[in-house]
Chains A and B, each alone.
Chain A
Amino acid sequence: MASPLRSAVDAAASALAAERARIEVAVSNLANIESTRSAEGGPYRRRDVVLQTAPVDSFDHALGRASAIGVRVAAIVEDTTAPRRRYEPSHPDADADGYVALPNVDPAEEMVDMLSAARAYQANLTAINLIRDMVQRALDLGRA
């Protein structure tokens, strides 16, 4: 049997990866807040991380045992809201009416996302430390 505490660490570690992905996506959204050209053509589109639960130990999970439920990044999707438009006829990407289509990124939203991801990251690090203390104490039982 895999140690249940190890599955807890695995779950917390999966959350660290997922929250880091959220921060990375928020940062790239902020970095491209003025990018009027992208690989797909048109302005950069805001990206969003979709999280999904993922049992870390499917065997324990199937037996109905207390196994931790981890998390994984299910997809990174594009925000489909319309791009912002700004009147700037001198811009090389301006349309016939003089409007430039800018990415649909809202700095406030990205900041809130980053804060929430950073908090969750911290919480999971705290969890890993607590579990490590427990494992250490369990190992102490074997010492003379």
Chain B
Amino acid sequence: MAIDDATIIDALRRHLSLAAAKQVVAAGNLANLNTPGYRAREVSFADALDDRLASAATMRATHPAHLAGAPAEPANVREARGLPSRRDGNNVQLDRELLAMTRASGEFAAAQTALAAKFRLVRYALNEGR
């Protein structure tokens, strides 16, 4: 099976979006490190993948705010499970969130490197090998 450049570039783009979404969610958690009652959120990759597969077949509006035909974002944010709460009802863990951010940063860098290499090849082809 041939995989064309557009498919690879699109997959890498989704990877970048997912890493960015993880970064955004972790930053929100860190910002609320001391907010009473705040529950940590996380991006669930399995859920995001399921969503992606479901939306690839049919584009459904599952939320009244959805715009018709808008591509589904590959990010599914839900409350993090299994984290112990502090006395004020907050369950954000500083090290966990910083680790998530570092990891997302690494994923982003990896996808960006691959995407840059891909673009370089495309540019090479466009310039007829010059």
Interface residues of A (CB under 8 A from B): 4-5, 7-9, 11-12, 14-15, 18-19, 22, 50-53, 62-71, 116-117, 119-120, 123-124, 126-127, 130-131, 133-134, 137-138, 140-141, 144
Contact = CB atoms under 8 A, between A and B. Distances in A.
Given A8-B24, A69-B29, 14 more contacts: A22-B34, A52-B35, A64-B65, A68-B24, A69-B41, A120-B30, A123-B30, A124-B27, A126-B101, A131-B27, A131-B101, A137-B112, A138-B16, A141-B119
B105 A130 contact: yes
Given A126-B98, A130-B102, A69 B31 contact: yes
B23 A130 contact: yes
Q: SS class of chain A's interface: helix, strand, loop or mixed?
A: helix
Nearest to A22: B34
B61 to A, nearest CB: 12
Given A123-B98, A141-B115, A14 B31 contact: yes
B34 A66 contact: no
25 contacts: A5-B20, A5-B24, A7-B24, A9-B27, A11-B31, A12-B31, A14-B31, A19-B34, A51-B34, A51-B36, A65-B75, A68-B25, A69-B38, A69-B41, A70-B32, A71-B34, A117-B34, A120-B33, A120-B94, A123-B97, A124-B31, A127-B30, A131-B101, A138-B16, A140-B112
A63 B71 CA distance: 13
A141 B116 contact: yes
Given A5-B23, A134-B23, A140-B116, A66 B77 contact: yes
Contacts, number: 125
A134 B19 contact: yes
Nearest to A4: B24
Interface centre among A5, A18, A124, A134 (most CB of B within 10 A): A134
Interface string B11-45: 00000100111011111111111111010010100
